[in-house]
Structure 1
């Protein structure tokens, strides 16, 4: 009895000591995390404080003053003008502003940011019902796009920034059978713009979208490729929606332009996304050596060019690969197999995809070239050319 009580008491004491040590360990970890958080906050505050400190201490300040006008050149009152410095981009959190300098325009459209540290800033204009106009439509002086580089001692006092009345385009994106497509991306691009410039909105549960734009004429297009899995189409066919231009055409040359009016709403831009059935191609490659290597199937065709690859260990010299899915069309296929420093290739084979999956495409491999030896040969040739350049 005594032995049992003593043993139980010892166990309880040991358990209590263990829990006490565990509590101390957890408390130390908690204090450490709290200390690290405070240090991080102090570091962020210090960074922000440095950016907002007296500019004269950095070897001279810069000045950014000017006027904000509308499309007709009329001064705009109540525009919030900001110069922002962003910190480094952080994973999952984007970029945080570490310094913001701002001014509100008066009845004459004038703004004044007289003293800022010399550095690069992002310029933003905010006024309800208006958007900042593109750089080519403004006499902005030092402003390029939405950025400005200010140097020590520079004083820009007559910068002119432009804004335009916001224009709205609304509509619905529909599927092949008239059903609304939710979660699709609808974009608008200014007519005549070669690169970039797409403004994007997502469709809601009713397939409706709303684009907020500068006034002008636009190409409107939709990407619903991720809307519906291949086996969920009402017809039962495998396939997907392709990139579609308003009013439901496949290329920008066939598209109709949509005009967005200043301060107005252009509605009823409804169109159907184009559904395209797709098919797979099963390829069998022969002549593979009895060694583990990488098998590639290269293709060119309607969907552009690319390759499929997989690692194979063909004991019988054969391996198969399922490639695609692709829409109907003709595709040129070539197989290549790499092991060590050697590559084997097949002859190009044209395959026509029509209304069903394609089976039994045979691609026999033939000796290709020793690509590592070729690289070494080219490197040796370059070294020889460099060493003998003085005699040329």
Structure 2
């Protein structure tokens, strides 16, 4: 699963604000922070900046705000002790880290009665992309979607992430604001071709060709800066703080690729909907309805990796089919999809608590595909969610689960509660499937889970080559080689202002601890990325309930590998 974005982090943590303990903390035990917000790179003090302090554990801490004065200074008092994330916001500016990249917030740990002074926050002027999209005659193309993209890692897989997007107005103009400095790619998706949509929706015998006289169907193609339909030829734009970068596009019709196929074994009096999802972007790119004879056509498809999904409507039980598909330079014909009923996966979670309290209201179970590829798949008309809440008696259930191989993960709700727990055993019938995964192919699958509060704990401090503490370093416990495809076996945290960190709920085993001063997304889940840092981690053997304290030296970005 990919890392929680700042927006999601704030939303999840704020949703737990009412969960704070009712116990009164004496004023003398409350903490305080102060600091200054400046503009990068000039160092000019910035006023009217909203500073937010958000507790990672909403059961122990709270949420606080302050606004900077004319001198850029801020102060927050009467803070409950705990571990917090510190953010700063002002329209037109972005909070940045020490490498001038967009910050995900600074980690601050506050002890009872502590006063942390002179915190430094830097804001950088956001960049803007602007321009105009026209057709081959120079006329404006209204409704085209212009996207700023970047390549990053999620769950260890390299993919394209949409940073921001806007649609063109009636003049064909667009403006994408609030972009961080750095390298971005820009794409333009043409507006919907309603003529093709109408033709696709007709009965098979009623379809008319939109091809020109030469018989080759054409359509506007997704186009990448500086004006190519081939994504491998796309060139990045280097944005600088405060830039207003002009990027104009002229779209011309090109050969239109299509996917033709049939949905088979549809129950009587049912229909189906087809959805095409990009594997590269994890975005739904297009879809179509299925004709009465089960045939379908998806038009105006660009080359790339896709997941084709068929969802049956009107059946007594949800039915789904999915198929991976590579689209090259030619049409795809003869694709066959056979929807199958989803399975029910149910069971009970038992606890090995050793006297530690388990808050069922603050925990979920996640059914994660073993290949890690379908995290972002959203299937219209289906009721499947990979999140299952654990009832007070330990019961849980997933319904309408698509066929596949899954592993089970126990997660908190982002509030820091239950962080000492880990999933110890997963039994399917009498077979232990923690490592092999749960095979699902319809029917009902029964699971017996055991969670333990005896997870190992690793704490310590992150230092640089001069033995000085490093704040906001990314600390990752990486499992042994055979388990590196399992994201649930990793543990990750960020060091606080004193370089301190704690990793909790670690299953016993062999690990390597790595610490980077910065890392691109979730690159540490990628075996090739880790291979380039072999020998720079610290090997560690952990037993259940063991606690170890270590000192780690940070791997600085740009270090020789």
Residue number in structure 2 paired with 1:216 = 182
Q: Does 1:126 align with 2:99?
A: no
User: Does structure 2 conserve the Cα–Cα contact (< 8 Å) formed by 1:67 and 1:75?
Assistant: no
Residue number in structure 1 paired with 2:223 = 244
Give aligned pairs, total.
Answer: 283
Q: Work out which of the residue numbers 190, 202, 212 in structure 1 matches 2:167.
A: 202
User: Does structure 2 conserve the Cα–Cα contact (< 8 Å) formed by 1:139 and 1:160?
Assistant: no
SS at match of 1:64: strand
Give the deviation of 1:228 after TM superposition. 4.9
Residue number in structure 2 paired with 1:137 = 99
Cα 1:255–1:261 change in 2 (3 A) is: same
Q: Work out which of the residue numbers 101, 118, 121 in structure 1 matches 2:65.
A: 101
Larger radius of gyration: 1
Matches within 5 A, 1:183-198: 183-189=143-149, 196=161, 198=163
Name the CA distance, whole Å, in 1 between partners of 2:150 and 2:81.
34
Matches within 5 A, 1:239-278: 241-267=220-246, 269-273=247-251, 275=253, 277-278=256-257
Name the CA distance, whole Å, in 1 between partners of 2:51 and 2:289.
52
Name the CA distance, whole Å, in 2 between partners of 1:241 and 1:205.
18
User: Does structure 1 conserve the Cα–Cα contact (< 8 Å) formed by 2:288 and 2:297?
Assistant: no
Q: Work out which of the residue numbers 162, 166, 180 in structure 1 matches 2:140.
A: 180
User: Does structure 1 conserve the Cα–Cα contact (< 8 Å) formed by 2:151 and 2:161?
Assistant: no
Name the CA distance, whole Å, in 2 between partners of 1:224 and 1:131.
30
Name the CA distance, whole Å, in 1 between partners of 2:93 and 2:176.
13
Give the deviation of 1:79 after TM superposition. 4.5
Give the deviation of 1:272 after TM superposition. 3.0
Q: Does 1:114 align with 2:73?
A: no
Cα 1:60–1:186 change in 2 (3 A) is: farther
User: Does structure 2 conserve the Cα–Cα contact (< 8 Å) formed by 1:55 and 1:61?
Assistant: no
Matches within 5 A, 1:260-339: 260-267=239-246, 269-273=247-251, 275=253, 277-279=256-258, 281=260, 283=262, 320-326=293-299
CA RMSD of aligned residues (A): 6.0
Name the CA distance, whole Å, in 2 between partners of 1:302 and 1:277.
17
Cα 1:248–1:65 change in 2 (3 A) is: same
Name the CA distance, whole Å, in 2 between partners of 1:200 and 1:310.
27
User: Does structure 2 conserve the Cα–Cα contact (< 8 Å) formed by 1:78 and 1:106?
Assistant: yes
Cα 1:148–1:206 change in 2 (3 A) is: farther
Give the deviation of 1:263 after TM superposition. 3.3
Residue number in structure 2 paired with 1:161 = 121
Name the CA distance, whole Å, in 2 between partners of 1:116 and 1:171.
46
Q: Does 1:146 align with 2:109?
A: no
Structure 2: gaps spanning 5 or more residues: 1-15, 56-61, 200-208, 212-216, 317-326, 345-402, 404-426, 433-561
Give the deviation of 1:215 after TM superposition. 3.3
Cα 1:139–1:179 change in 2 (3 A) is: closer
Give the deviation of 1:230 after TM superposition. 2.4
Name the CA distance, whole Å, in 2 between partners of 1:75 and 1:362.
61
Name the CA distance, whole Å, in 2 between partners of 1:301 and 1:81.
38
Give the deviation of 1:321 after TM superposition. 1.4
- Greater share of residues in helix: 1
Name the CA distance, whole Å, in 1 between partners of 2:34 and 2:124.
20
Cα 1:327–1:169 change in 2 (3 A) is: closer
